[in-house]
C-alpha cells in the first residue's frame, strides 16, 4: 500500500531496528521517533511490538496532537513524552528512548553521571543530568506527558541547553536522547550507554574518584567541537 509518509516510516523503522543491534533494549522495550515539522507529523514505533516483527507498515504516524493518521496499531505508550519534547524543543527532530542496562542503572541511582574521563569529555563538558523521581501527583495524572514535563522542567531549572546536552536520565526510569535526526538520537543513546558503563566501572574501582580536570575536559571537547576543532577529516 502506498503512503504519503513512506519515507518517514522507512527512516523510523530503520532507526528502531538499530536499537537491538546496539543492545540498547530487549524484546519490545524502547522506541525511536522522528518528526517531520514541515508536514506536522511524527512517526513512532508501535506499542509492545518486538523489534524482529517490525515492518514499515507497522510504524504509526500521528499529528502533533497525538491523533493517528496512519497505522493500524497503537503507537508507543511513550508517545506523549516524545510529543511534549518536540513541542518544547524546536531543534529536536528525533527522540530515542531505551532500557539499556548501565543507563538505567544510573537513572535508578538518581545520580548525575560525572565527567570521569576523556570519552565523556569528547561529547559533553558537563555531567549527564538525572532528574528527580516523579512526584505522586504527576504519576497519578497524565504519566507519559508528565515524563516529558519532568525532563523539560529539569533542563530549565538547571539551565541546561538541550542542544548542548542531548541526553537525560529520568530518575527511577531510564534514558532519553535526541538529535537533529534519527542517526544522531540513536548515536547519543549508544554514547550515553557507553559513558554510563565506563563511569560505573570507574566508580567501582575507585569509589573516591573525582571528576577529571577542567583543562582536560576543555581540550577534549574543543578538539572535536567548535571553530578550532581538528579531530577527523
CA distance 153 to 151: 6
Measured at the CA of 191, the angle between CA 127 and CA 182, to 5 degrees, comes to 115
**Half-sphere CA count of 99, side-chain side, radius 13 A:** 9
- Is the distance from CB of 64 to CB of 47 less than 8 angstroms? no
Residue 189 backbone phi and psi in degrees, to 5:
-65, -40
Which candidate, 91, 53, 118, places its Cα nearest to that of 185?
A: 91
Q: 231 catalytic, yes or no? A: yes
Could you tell me if 150 and 170 are in contact, meaning their C-beta atoms sit under 8 angstroms apart?
yes
Of the candidates 122, 143, 153, 181, the residue annotated as catalytic is 122
Q: Is 9 helix (H, G, I), strand (E, B) or coil?
A: helix
C-alpha cell at position 188: 547519543
Which of 63, 91, 142, 231 is an active site residue?
231
Lookup: cell for 3:
503512503
Is 102 labeled as catalytic in the residue annotation? Answer: no
* In the chain, alpha helices (H): 6-21, 79-88, 101-109, 118-121, 136-140, 143-157, 182-205, 214-222
Which positions are annotated as active-site residues?
122, 231
Amino acid at each position: 500500500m502506498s503512503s504519503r509518509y513512506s519515507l518517514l516510516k522507512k527512516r523510523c523503522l530503520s532507526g528502531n531496528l538499530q536499537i537491538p543491534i546496539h543492545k540498547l533494549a530487549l524484546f519490545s522495550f524502547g522506541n525511536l521517533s522522528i518528526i517531520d515539522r514541515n508536514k506536522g507529523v511524527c512517526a513512532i514505533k508501535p506499542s509492545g511490538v518486538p523489534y524482529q516483527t517490525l515492518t514499515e507498515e507497522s510504524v504509526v504516524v500521528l499529528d502533533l496532537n497525538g491523533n493517528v493518521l496512519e497505522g493500524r496499531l497503537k503507537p508507543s505508550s511513550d508517545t506523549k513524552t516524545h510529543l511534549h519534547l518536540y513541542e518544547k524543543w524546536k531543534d529536536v527532530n528525533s527522540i530515542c528512548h531505551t532500557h539499556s542496562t548501565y543507563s538505567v542503572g544510573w537513572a535508578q541511582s538518581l545520580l548525575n553521571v560525572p565527567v570521569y574521563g576523556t570519552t565523556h569529555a569528547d561529547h559533553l563538558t558537563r555531567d549527564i543530568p538525572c532528574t528527580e523521581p516523579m512526584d505522586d501527583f504527576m504519576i497519578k495524572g497524565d504519566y507519559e506527558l508528565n515524563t516529558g514535563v519532568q525532563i523539560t522542567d529539569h533542563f530549565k531549572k538547571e539551565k541546561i541547553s538541550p542542544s548542548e546536552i542531548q541526553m537525560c536520565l529520568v530518575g527511577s526510569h531510564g534514558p532519553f536522547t535526541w538529535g537533529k535526526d534519527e542517526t544522531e538520537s540513536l548515536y547519543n543513546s549508544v554514547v550515553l550507554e557507553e559513558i554510563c558503563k565506563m563511569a560505573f566501572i570507574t566508580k567501582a574501582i575507585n569509589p573516591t574518584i573525582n571528576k577529571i580536570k577542567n583543562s582536560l575536559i576543555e581540550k577534549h571537547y574543543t578538539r572535536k567541537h567548535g571553530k578550532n576543532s581538528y579531530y577527523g577529516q
